[in-house]
Structure 1
């Protein structure tokens, strides 16, 4: 049996994790941006490992994220209690309707619009990262970039701490494989009006390197 599969979006995130991690049983793989490619690639990696007789024992979606800065500072670390597909659903005159409230049969919804992190894996990560902020991490297809959309997200997900683009896809792949899932993010920018001058990508990648040893 192998160890964890750690999935990132881009090579820079994978390299930051590998810089803080010296453990050959942990595979760190950049798979691409967005929930569709992340979910498909994760499912393929899990299936190949199982077919080779070396199944993984858990999956972590990791990388940088935008943060609600009244809940987590730029440069801070987040552990997701659940991955939420924040824009999977339908618009209506009365507002957004999550897909699991549209009356579809439960078997067509997979894990619904929210997949919880594995309790034991999350507890182990929390114990190793006591200063991390813990809460739901939103998965979006379109990064939030206006004050109005930020406020809409706050109202719909009042306990969310961050947003990224891959966690839900990775979580669904892990769930279908029957494996524990968790999400680890470091904050590179505030959620809100798009302002690249406010991004601190270097600091977020350094925080990812600092957090990486917990993945052993």
Structure 2
């Protein structure tokens, strides 16, 4: 008898994954964890949930802003490295990451790749940062781009990776780009398109996983 995968879908807010939930309805072949926005809420919620149940795969779904203009608005990507970009100390105009201070770790790689679970998947692999304050100032955007060269930013991704690594759980992070990182202008955002594409991809991914 084939054992069904134990899958946990993690999102900061329910609207980001509502089409996925609607598609599978009451017969969802996965558990759902809505953490709330931000790295603190994510780390706490993940710690509680992963302490209750063991999962075959944990998937973080969400939207994100992109520093990389080569990534199209609405495009779905896989985050393979995520950094807590604000974790460290200022030394006048220089920034000292927590690794250099000797107090911990700020950079986390994915525990697994999407291709480990779905050979047919073909999306860009990107590096991201996790922030408390999303960037919307030209000077701060320039500074973070020179320091880390991120392609995406979210408010949860690195905390998600951290929790999964601590609990030794296979994990992947999938995001769709809703906007470019620039001076805040909601008229340029494509949240609806990002959510649509993210959920279409997630439905296909889950369908593939449960049939494997």
Counterpart for residue 107 of structure 2 = 114
Shift of 1:125: 6.1
Matches within 5 A, 1:20-31: 24-31=28-35
Matches within 5 A, 1:140-151: 140-151=131-142
1:162 aligns with 2:152: yes
Counterpart for residue 177 of structure 1 = 167
1:78 match: secondary structure: strand
Shift of 1:123: 2.3
Shift of 1:67: 0.9
Contact 1:129 1:211 in 2 (8 A): no
Unaligned runs of 5+ in 1: 50-54
Matches within 5 A, 1:46-195: 46-49=50-53, 55-104=54-103, 109=104, 112-119=105-112, 121-124=113-116, 127-130=119-122, 132-158=123-149, 160-195=150-185
User: Could you report, residue by residue, the CA deviation over 1:28-82 in whole angstroms, capped at 9, with x for unpaired residues?
Assistant: 3211000111011011011112xxxxx2122222100001242311111110111
Contact 2:175 2:198 in 1 (8 A): yes
- For 1:78 and 1:161, locate their aligned partners in 2 and report how far apart those are by CA, in whole Å: 10
1:96 match: secondary structure: strand
Counterpart for residue 17 of structure 2 = 14
Shift of 1:85: 0.8
User: Could you report, residue by residue, the CA deviation over 1:91-140 in whole angstroms, capped at 9, with x for unpaired residues?
Assistant: 11241111111133xxxx2xx11111123x3323674431x221112111
Q: Per the alignment, do residues 162 and 190 of structure 1 end up closer, same or farther by CA in structure 2, a change over 3 Å counting? A: same
- For 2:117 and 2:180, locate their aligned partners in 1 and report how far apart those are by CA, in whole Å: 24
TM-score, normalised via structure 1 length = 0.85
Aligned Cα root-mean-square deviation (Å): 2.0
1:214 aligns with 2:208: no
- Alignment size in residue pairs: 202
Q: Per the alignment, do residues 21 and 185 of structure 1 end up closer, same or farther by CA in structure 2, a change over 3 Å counting? A: farther
Q: Per the alignment, do residues 20 and 156 of structure 1 end up closer, same or farther by CA in structure 2, a change over 3 Å counting? A: farther
- For 2:180 and 2:139, locate their aligned partners in 1 and report how far apart those are by CA, in whole Å: 14
- For 1:180 and 1:148, locate their aligned partners in 2 and report how far apart those are by CA, in whole Å: 37
